[in-house]
Amino acid sequence: MIKVGIVGGTGYTGVELLRLLAQHPGVALMAITSRQEAGTPVADHFPSLRGAVKLAFSDPADAPLADCDIVFFATPNGVAMGEARALLERGVRIVDLAADFRFRDVAEWEQWYQQKHAAPELLAEAVYGLPEVNRAAIRTARIVANPGCYPTCVQLGFLPLVEANVVDLDHLIADAKSGVSGAGRKAETHILFSEASDNFAAYGVSGHRHWPEIRQGLAQVAKRSIGLTFVPHLTPMIRGIHATLYARVTRAVDFQALYASRFGAEPFVDVLPPGHHPDTRSVRAANLCRIAVHRPHGGDTLVVLSVIDNLVKGAAGQAVQNMNIMFGIDEATGLAQLPVVP
Amino acid sequence: MIKVGIVGGTGYTGVELLRLLAQHPGVALMAITSRQEAGTPVADHFPSLRGAVKLAFSDPADAPLADCDIVFFATPNGVAMGEARALLERGVRIVDLAADFRFRDVAEWEQWYQQKHAAPELLAEAVYGLPEVNRAAIRTARIVANPGCYPTCVQLGFLPLVEANVVDLDHLIADAKSGVSGAGRKAETHILFSEASDNFAAYGVSGHRHWPEIRQGLAQVAKRSIGLTFVPHLTPMIRGIHATLYARVTRAVDFQALYASRFGAEPFVDVLPPGHHPDTRSVRAANLCRIAVHRPHGGDTLVVLSVIDNLVKGAAGQAVQNMNIMFGIDEATGLAQLPVVP
Amino acid sequence: MIKVGIVGGTGYTGVELLRLLAQHPGVALMAITSRQEAGTPVADHFPSLRGAVKLAFSDPADAPLADCDIVFFATPNGVAMGEARALLERGVRIVDLAADFRFRDVAEWEQWYQQKHAAPELLAEAVYGLPEVNRAAIRTARIVANPGCYPTCVQLGFLPLVEANVVDLDHLIADAKSGVSGAGRKAETHILFSEASDNFAAYGVSGHRHWPEIRQGLAQVAKRSIGLTFVPHLTPMIRGIHATLYARVTRAVDFQALYASRFGAEPFVDVLPPGHHPDTRSVRAANLCRIAVHRPHGGDTLVVLSVIDNLVKGAAGQAVQNMNIMFGIDEATGLAQLPVVP
Amino acid sequence: MIKVGIVGGTGYTGVELLRLLAQHPGVALMAITSRQEAGTPVADHFPSLRGAVKLAFSDPADAPLADCDIVFFATPNGVAMGEARALLERGVRIVDLAADFRFRDVAEWEQWYQQKHAAPELLAEAVYGLPEVNRAAIRTARIVANPGCYPTCVQLGFLPLVEANVVDLDHLIADAKSGVSGAGRKAETHILFSEASDNFAAYGVSGHRHWPEIRQGLAQVAKRSIGLTFVPHLTPMIRGIHATLYARVTRAVDFQALYASRFGAEPFVDVLPPGHHPDTRSVRAANLCRIAVHRPHGGDTLVVLSVIDNLVKGAAGQAVQNMNIMFGIDEATGLAQLPVVP
Residues B123-134 have pLDDT tens digits of: 999 999 999 999
Q: Are C201 and B278 inside 8 Å of each other by CB?
A: yes
Q: Calculate the average pLDDT of chain A.
A: 97
Of the candidates D191, D198, D236, which has its C-beta nearest B192's C-beta? D191
Of the candidates A272, A336, A340, which has its C-beta nearest B340's C-beta? A340
| C-alpha B34: how far from chain center | 22
> CA B266 → CA B133, B260, B262, distances in Å?
11, 10, 8
What is the average per-residue pLDDT within A162-173?
98
Q: Is C266 on the interface with D (CB under 8 A)?
A: no
For residues A184 and A10, give the distance between their C-alpha atoms in angstroms, rounded to a whole number. Answer: 10
For residues A321 and A4, give the distance between their C-alpha atoms in angstroms, rounded to a whole number. Answer: 14
Q: In sequence order, which ranges of chain A are alpha helices (DSSP H)?
A: 12-22, 42-45, 80-89, 106-113, 120-125, 131-140, 149-164, 193-196, 210-222, 255-263, 317-326
Q: Establish whether this prediction's ipTM goes over 0.85.
A: yes
Q: How far off is chain B from C332, nearest CA to CA, in Å?
A: 25
Chain A / chain B CB contacts < 8 angstroms: 88
Q: How far off is chain A from D273, nearest CA to CA, in Å?
A: 14
Q: Are C233 and B177 inside 8 Å of each other by CB?
A: yes
3-state SS class at B173: strand
**In chain B, what percentage of residues exceed pLDDT 70?**
100
Is B8:B35 a contact under the CB 8 Å cutoff?
no
Cα Rg, chain A, nearest whole Å: 19
Per-residue pLDDT of A38-73, as tens digits, reads 999 999 999 999 999 999 999 998 999 999 999 999
Q: How far off is chain A from D317, nearest CA to CA, in Å?
A: 19
Of the candidates A175, A207, A239, which has its C-beta nearest D296's C-beta? A207
Q: Is C299 on the interface with B (CB under 8 A)?
A: yes
> CA D112 → CA C95, C126, D115, D117, D183, distances in Å?
58, 66, 8, 11, 17
Q: Are C199 and B240 inside 8 Å of each other by CB?
A: yes
Per-residue pLDDT of C65-117, as tens digits, reads 999 999 999 999 999 999 999 999 999 999 999 999 999 999 999 999 999 99
Q: In sequence order, which ranges of B90-170 are alpha helices (DSSP H)?
A: 106-113, 120-125, 131-140, 149-164
Residues of B in contact with A200 (CB under 8 A): none
**Of B211, B200, B202, B97, nearest in space to B154 by CA:** B211
Residues of B in contact with C205 (CB under 8 A): 277, 294, 296, 303, 305
Q: Is C36 on the interface with A (CB under 8 A)?
A: no
For residues B82 and B209, give the distance between their C-alpha atoms in angstroms, rounded to a whole number. Answer: 20
For the four alpha carbons of C64, C68, C73 and C79, in that order, the dihedral sign comes to positive
Residues of C in contact with A238 (CB under 8 A): 193-194, 197-198
For residues B109 and B111, give the distance between their C-alpha atoms in angstroms, rounded to a whole number. Answer: 5
- Please report, as a single letter, which amino acid is at residue A103: F
Return the residue in B181, B193, B235 with the most chain D beta carbons within 10 A, the one to mutate for interface testing.
B193
**C75 backbone φψ class: left, alpha, beta (φ>0; ψ -120 to 50):** beta
- On the 0-12 / 13-18 / 19+ scale of CB atoms within 10 A, C50 is buried
pLDDT score recorded for residue A88: 98
pLDDT score recorded for residue B69: 98
Total Cβ atoms within 10 A of residue D243: 28
Q: Is A198 on the interface with C (CB under 8 A)?
A: yes
pLDDT score recorded for residue A291: 98
Beta bridge partners of C27: C2
CATH T-level assignment (fold) for domain A2-125: Rossmann fold (3.40.50)
Antiparallel, parallel or unpaired: β C27-33 and C70-73: unpaired
Q: Are D341 and C48 inside 8 Å of each other by CB?
A: yes
- Please report, as a single letter, which amino acid is at residue D184: G
Is A209:A99 a contact under the CB 8 Å cutoff?
yes
Longest CA–CA span in chain C (Å) reads 62
Beta bridge partners of B3: B28
Q: Is A45 on the interface with B (CB under 8 A)?
A: no
Q: Which CATH number fits domain D149-309: 1.50.40.10, 3.30.360.10, 3.20.20.150, 3.40.50.720?
A: 3.30.360.10
Per-residue pLDDT of D55-101, as tens digits, reads 999 999 899 999 999 999 999 999 999 999 999 999 999 999 999 99
Catalytic residue among A68, A149, A153, A289: A149
For the four alpha carbons of A322, A323, A325 and A331, in that order, the dihedral sign comes to negative
Q: Are A185 and C180 inside 8 Å of each other by CB?
A: no
Tell me the residues of chain C between 166 and 185 that have a Cβ less than 8 Å away from chain D.
181, 185
Domain residue spans of chain A: 2-125, 150-310
Antiparallel, parallel or unpaired: β A2-7 and A27-33: parallel
pLDDT digits (tens), chain D, 342 positions: 999 999 998 999 999 999 999 999 999 999 999 999 999 999 999 999 999 999 999 999 899 999 999 999 999 999 999 999 999 999 999 999 999 999 999 999 999 999 999 999 999 999 999 999 999 999 999 999 999 999 999 999 999 999 999 999 999 999 999 999 999 999 999 999 999 999 999 999 999 999 999 999 999 999 999 999 999 999 999 999 999 999 999 999 999 999 999 999 999 999 999 999 999 999 999 999 999 999 999 999 999 999 999 999 999 999 999 999 999 999 999 999 999 999
Neighbours of chain C (3+ CB pairs under 8 A): A, B, D
What is the average per-residue pLDDT within B9-21?
96
What phi and psi values does residue D219 have, to the nearest 5 degrees? -65, -35
Q: Is D279 on the interface with A (CB under 8 A)?
A: yes
pLDDT score recorded for residue A23: 95
Residues of A in contact with B342 (CB under 8 A): 12, 15, 181, 185, 238-239, 311
DSSP-derived secondary structure for A146-183:
PPPHHHHHHHHHHHHHHHHT-B-TTSEEEEEEEEGGGG
Q: Calculate the average pLDDT of chain D.
A: 97
Helix and strand numbers (H, E) in chain D are 11, 13
Q: How far off is chain B from C198, nearest CA to CA, in Å?
A: 4
Q: Determine the residue of chain C that is closest to D45 in CA distance.
A: C282
Q: Are C191 and A189 inside 8 Å of each other by CB?
A: no
What is the average per-residue pLDDT within B35-52?
95
pLDDT score recorded for residue D2: 98
What is the average per-residue pLDDT within A316-342?
97
Residues of B in contact with C194 (CB under 8 A): 342
Beta bridge partners of D293: D304
- Please report, as a single letter, which amino acid is at residue C37: E
For residues D274 and D266, give the distance between their C-alpha atoms in angstroms, rounded to a whole number. Answer: 19
**What CATH superfamily classification does C150-310 receive?**
Dihydrodipicolinate Reductase; domain 2 (3.30.360.10)
Antiparallel, parallel or unpaired: β A172-179 and A228-235: parallel
What is the average per-residue pLDDT within B42-50?
96
Per-residue pLDDT of A113-154, as tens digits, reads 999 999 999 999 999 999 999 999 999 999 999 999 999 999
Q: CB-side exposure of C160: number of CA atoms within 13 Å?
A: 23
Orientation of helix C149-164 relative to helix C255-263, angle to 10° = 120
- Please report, as a single letter, which amino acid is at residue B194: S
Is A125:A216 a contact under the CB 8 Å cutoff?
no
Is C166:C253 a contact under the CB 8 Å cutoff?
yes
For residues B236 and C284, give the distance between their C-alpha atoms in angstroms, rounded to a whole number. Answer: 15
For residues D28 and D34, give the distance between their C-alpha atoms in angstroms, rounded to a whole number. Answer: 19
pLDDT digits (tens), chain C, 342 positions: 999 999 998 999 999 999 999 999 999 999 999 999 999 999 999 999 999 999 999 999 899 999 999 999 999 999 999 999 999 999 999 999 999 999 999 999 999 999 999 999 999 999 999 999 999 999 999 999 999 999 999 999 999 999 999 999 999 999 999 999 999 999 999 999 999 999 999 999 999 999 999 999 999 999 999 999 999 999 999 999 999 999 999 999 999 999 999 999 999 999 999 999 999 999 999 999 999 999 999 999 999 999 999 999 999 999 999 999 999 999 999 999 999 999
Q: Please give the positions of D annotated as active site.
A: 149
> CA A298 → CA A252, A304, B219, B323, D9, distances in Å?
10, 14, 67, 52, 39
